[in-house]
């Protein structure tokens, strides 16, 4: 370039503080610096609490009170941002800086049409009249790839699909030709296939229009796919920064190494997730041994034989017609699915949202009644005559752990009571004192301190709560545990720990796991056999290695190709292994 343009965004030694109610000070961001050139996508990565969203907010001038910029500077297009007002001379938020937030459903106002939400920005900043604004809005819709833009303009947000909504949000961000776009987790709420399209769109925009994009995300795969440079943050500090390929392949800082290492790989299966700072092995192992002894006293199932059989399962949901005119809409969530799970194995059920995998999990756990077909556990039907109610030993044998660690423990009951409940209910301990000892053992088996029993759920972090949920499931001495997206809501490093825990428990006690997930990489690392689902149907079932190395069904192949992984890093010239 003959004339050097100023960087689109330049952050120097930024420090953001939040004064606390008790008089203290919380430093959300400390000494952060980064630069974005025109046409560059710069990813800001970190786990929750890293400070990445705070930086995004600071750049947009939308820091939530009482947060403030304590020191350092932010320059947008060479112009300095005033720390108190959050704006810079000549830089207008919405015109020169565009924003894309995570959830398109809540970003758009449900009471106004797409057209009005696109044109209001144009008319506010560019002083266009109604007709001109409408034309421009149409252009924008086309440029972000929305089919039938004329029709969609008149639509309301709830009438569009998730992907289309996010495209509208991006169109709104681009409407006045900004130089910088701040995108905060733009694809986290979207399906894998839609995510792939949106990421491609962002990349194209940066390439063709020279927009600089600050991409805030926690997903390393996304970073690998489209970011030119990446900055990794941890607890408010910048840990590492540089070109994507370099940082991801050859990280220097310890935290960066741990973070990247914890990301589940889709290319090959490792024995365990490499995790920095694993829990104390000794006590946990003893506890697990004791559990195994208790659980398997009366059980005669041999490893490897069939323990669960799903036969021609169909589940329909009848909605009372949100669609006018129809009396009731029958939605087939699960369509004639059959598979078998063997004792001691980890069976994965994978697919995008809405494919029916969670419904199957609920049927197996006894929460939902199937419309037709049946589920057999050790040859006996799981559902009783009444439909959902299960008969004694079957209830006990199949337990479940859930996705959201924050709603899976009753916040009003002590942990000890929560864990003791299944034990007492099934009279698995001869006395209350015995039950308490069992509870202590369970807690240790999942890697926590036994005195956790006296506390309440809110005293624990997301990962710890998930461990406690696992402990509760183990309390009933099950043979099969259904795991519904057990780590999707957790940070990457915590995810690795929990998955390791599940592996260890399985190894120690011979449990069978039915693992539901949308994350192919996780499934690859954890499962022995995998079934892929799409729109309620089971499209492929195979051993893990076979599935990943030679997928048969076109959908499986498509899914594998769309997953953003660390194996295909932007900017690398060498081919992936």
Backbone dihedral angles phi then psi of residue 195, each to the nearest 5 degrees: -55, -45
Least Cβ distance, residue 36 to another protein (angstroms): 18
Beta bridge partners of 349: 516, 531
For residue 386, give every residue at least 6 positions away whose Cβ sits within 8 Å of its Cβ, in sequence order, or none.
none
Beta bridge partners of 93: 97
Inter-residue contact 165 to 194 (CB < 8 Å): no
- Which is closer to another protein, CB of 146 or CB of 346? 146
Element (DSSP H or E) covering residue 434? helix 432-445
Inter-residue contact 481 to 511 (CB < 8 Å): yes
Whole-angstrom Cα distance, residue 133 to residue 153?
A: 12
Least Cβ distance, residue 77 to another protein (angstroms): 15
Least Cβ distance, residue 173 to another protein (angstroms): 8
Least Cβ distance, residue 464 to another protein (angstroms): 15
- Which is closer to another protein, CB of 86 or CB of 551? 86
Q: Mapping DSSP to helix (H, G, I), strand (E, B) and coil, where does residue 334 land?
A: strand
Region at 189 (left for phi over 0; alpha for psi -120 to 50; beta for the rest): alpha
Inter-residue contact 79 to 8 (CB < 8 Å): no
Helices (DSSP H) in 187-327: which residue ranges?
Answer: 192-209, 220-226, 244-249, 254-262, 281-295
Least Cβ distance, residue 512 to another protein (angstroms): 15
- Which is closer to another protein, CB of 63 or CB of 499? 63
Whole-angstrom Cα distance, residue 357 to residue 404?
A: 16
- Which is closer to another protein, CB of 107 or CB of 441? 107
Element (DSSP H or E) covering residue 340? strand 329-342
- Which is closer to another protein, CB of 293 or CB of 413? 413
Least Cβ distance, residue 563 to another protein (angstroms): 27
- Which is closer to another protein, CB of 304 or CB of 393? 393
Whole-angstrom Cα distance, residue 552 to residue 537?
A: 15
Q: What single-letter DSSP state applies at residue 115?
A: H
Least Cβ distance, residue 64 to another protein (angstroms): 6
- Which is closer to another protein, CB of 396 or CB of 552? 396
Least Cβ distance, residue 112 to another protein (angstroms): 8
Least Cβ distance, residue 165 to another protein (angstroms): 11
Inter-residue contact 488 to 499 (CB < 8 Å): no
N-to-C CA span, the chain = 36
- Which is closer to another protein, CB of 112 or CB of 317? 112
Helical pair 432-445 and 462-475, crossing angle rounded to 10 deg: 130
- Which is closer to another protein, CB of 218 or CB of 395? 395
- Which is closer to another protein, CB of 164 or CB of 495? 164
Element (DSSP H or E) covering residue 330? strand 329-342
Least Cβ distance, residue 410 to another protein (angstroms): 5
């Amino acid at each position: 370039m003959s004339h050097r343009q100023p960087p689109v965004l330049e952050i120097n030694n930024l420090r953001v503080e939040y004064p606390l109610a008790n008089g203290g000070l919380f430093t959300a961001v400390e000494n952060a610096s980064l630069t974005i050139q025109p046409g560059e996508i710069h990813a800001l990565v970190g786990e929750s609490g890293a400070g990445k969203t705070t930086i995004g907010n600071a750049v947009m001038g939308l820091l939530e009170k009482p947060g403030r910029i304590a020191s350092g500077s932010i320059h947008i297009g060479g112009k300095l941002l005033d720390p108190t007002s959050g704006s810079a001379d000549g830089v207008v938020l919405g015109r020169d800086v565009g924003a894309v937030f995570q959830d398109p459903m809540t970003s758009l106002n449900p009471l106004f049409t797409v057209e009005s939400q696109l044109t209001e920005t144009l008319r506010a900043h560019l002083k266009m009249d109604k007709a001109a604004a409408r034309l421009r809005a149409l252009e924008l819709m086309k440029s972000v790839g929305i089919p039938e833009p004329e029709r969609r303009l008149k639509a309301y947000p709830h009438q569009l699909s998730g992907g289309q909504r996010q495209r509208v949000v991006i169109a709104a961000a681009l409407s006045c030709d900004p130089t910088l776009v701040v995108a905060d987790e733009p694809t986290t709420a979207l399906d894998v296939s839609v995510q792939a399209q949106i990421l491609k769109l962002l990349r194209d925009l940066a390439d063709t229009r020279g927009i600089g994009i600050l991409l805030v995300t926690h997903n390393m795969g996304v970073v690998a796919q489209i970011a030119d440079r990446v900055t990794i943050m941890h607890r408010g500090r910048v840990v590492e920064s540089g070109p994507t390929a370099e940082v991801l392949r050859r990280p220097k800082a310890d935290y960066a190494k741990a973070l990247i290492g914890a990301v589940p790989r889709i290319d090959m299966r490792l024995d365990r997730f490499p995790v920095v700072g694993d829990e104390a092995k000794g006590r946990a192992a003893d506890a697990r041994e004791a559990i195994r002894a208790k659980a398997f006293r009366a059980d005669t199932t041999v490893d490897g034989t069939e323990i669960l059989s799903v036969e021609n399962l169909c589940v329909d949901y009848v909605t009372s017609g949100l669609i006018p005119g129809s009396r009731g809409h029958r939605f087939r969530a699960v369509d004639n699915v059959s598979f078998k799970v063997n004792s001691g194995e980890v069976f994965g059920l994978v697919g995008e949202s809405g494919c029916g995998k969670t419904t199957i999990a609920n049927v197996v756990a006894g929460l939902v009644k199937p419309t037709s077909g049946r589920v057999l556990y050790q040859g006996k039907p799981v559902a009783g005559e009444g439909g959902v109610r299960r008969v004694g030993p079957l209830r006990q044998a199949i337990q479940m752990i859930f996705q959201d660690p924050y709603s899976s423990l009753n916040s009003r009951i002590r942990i000890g009571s929560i864990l003791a409940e299944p034990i007492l209910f099934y009279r698995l301990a001869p006395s209350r004192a015995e039950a308490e000892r069992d509870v202590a053992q369970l807690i240790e088996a999942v890697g926590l301190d036994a005195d956790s029993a006296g506390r309440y759920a809110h005293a624990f972090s997301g990962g710890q709560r998930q461990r406690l949920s696992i402990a509760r499931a183990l309390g009933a001495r099950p043979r099969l545990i259904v795991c519904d997206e057990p780590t999707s809501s957790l940070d990457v490093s915590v995810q690795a720990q929990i998955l390791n825990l599940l592996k260890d428990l399985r190894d120690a006690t011979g449990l069978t796991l039915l693992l539901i997930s949308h994350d192919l990489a996780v499934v690859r690392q954890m499962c022995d056999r995998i079934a892929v689902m799409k729109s309620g149907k089971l499209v492929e079932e195979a051993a893990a290695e076979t599935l990943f190395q030679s997928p048969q069904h076109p959908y499986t192949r498509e899914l594998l190709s769309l997953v953003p992984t660390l194996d295909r890093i932007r900017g690398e010239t060498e081919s992936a292994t």
